[in-house]
Amino acid sequence: MYKTHFGLNNHPFGLTPDTQFFCGLPSHIEAFNVLLIALHNGEGFIKITGDVGTGKTMLCRKLLNELPEPFETAYLPNPHLPPVDLLRAIAAEMNIEYPRHTGQNGLINLINDFLINSATNGKKMVLIIDEAQSMSIETLEALRLITNLETEKQKLLQIVLFGQPELDEQLQNKAIRQLRQRITFSYALKPLTVQNVADYIKHRLRVAGMGNISIFSGAAIRAMHYYSRGIPRLVNILANKAMLSAFGKGHSAIGVKHVYLAAMDTEDANTKLKFLGCRKRYLLLLLLAVIAYLWVPKV
């Protein structure tokens, strides 16, 4: 809607995890490097956790797109399945054919045979699971069973788990302590800092084709950080709404007021000031922005 107004080729703040917009922020680069190092070392389980909206799926897509040969990947975006259905989903991702009524043990044997054949042909199989916190204890245990097969030098299947912090709680269950002990590399994604938010917004505007990537004022950036709590998905939502607000008023720059209006219209924004009247909230936000401008290094 506002692409022409701001001179954009694409929408810069969509919610779809488009790897074209991947921003090399410190936390995400560290997590990606952990993944590459662990996979090249041939480790069994690798875990990446982060709160909702911190960029796990974007990182997951980047890994799928950029893993070089001899790696081959299988991807499960929704593993909230009983054990046997999880194994069927894995078999389907690996293009393994099997009789319709094959049970859990039969599926494990077929997957093991496939992995042996892949290793013989010089392939390294990686199973990438998103939203891993949704898996039951029984399903996690079934997952562990298919990693038992290994040669003297390497695992025949490496598994990357992407999940919310609840995954860590799941893994504390004594029933799956054997799986927990096999997680040799892990990383927790961190929220963005004020500087990260500034870099993130400018990066996405640049990728979207905008010439002037500094249309968000310093105070607006700080307000974005405050309301989003440094969560990339919320930054996208707030930035999109702030630009819509500026477009609706015919403005060419984004200020604190546009971000404020966006936050008041966003369910999960950090609107701790809602108990105040609308005018008082806005005045207090302006005061906070002034204080931040004076005391926080400019971005």
Q: What is the structure's pLDDT at 272?
A: 61
Q: What is the structure's pLDDT at 274?
A: 47
Q: What is the structure's pLDDT at 125?
A: 95
Mean per-residue pLDDT pooled into runs of 10, the chain (299 residues): 85 91 93 94 91 94 92 94 95 93 92 93 95 95 85 82 95 92 93 96 94 91 94 96 93 92 89 52 59 52
Question: What are the residues facing 159 on neighbouring strands?
Answer: 45, 127
Q: What is the structure's pLDDT at 285?
A: 60
Q: What is the structure's pLDDT at 154?
A: 74
Q: Where are the beta strands (DSSP E) in the chain?
A: 45-49, 71-76, 124-129, 157-163, 183-188
- Three-class SS state of 198: helix
Fold agreement between 26-188 and 192-295: no
Q: What is the structure's pLDDT at 29?
A: 95
Q: Where are the domains of the chain?
A: 26-188, 192-295
Cα–Cα distance, 272 to 284 (Å, whole number)? 11
Q: Which of 142, 171, 192, 139 is nearest to 47 (CA)?
A: 171
Burial call 178-209: b when 16+ CB within 10 Å, e when fewer: ebbebbebbbebbbbebbbbbbbbbbbbebbe
Whole-structure pTM value:
0.86
CATH of region 192-295, choose from 1.20.1250.20, 3.20.20.70, 1.10.287.3510, 1.10.8.60: 1.10.8.60
Pair 74, 125: CB distance under 8 Å: yes
Superfamily of the domain at 26-188: P-loop containing nucleotide triphosphate hydrolases (3.40.50.300)
Residue type, 78: N
Q: What is the structure's pLDDT at 287?
A: 62
Cα–Cα distance, 74 to 80 (Å, whole number)? 16
Q: What is the structure's pLDDT at 102?
A: 92
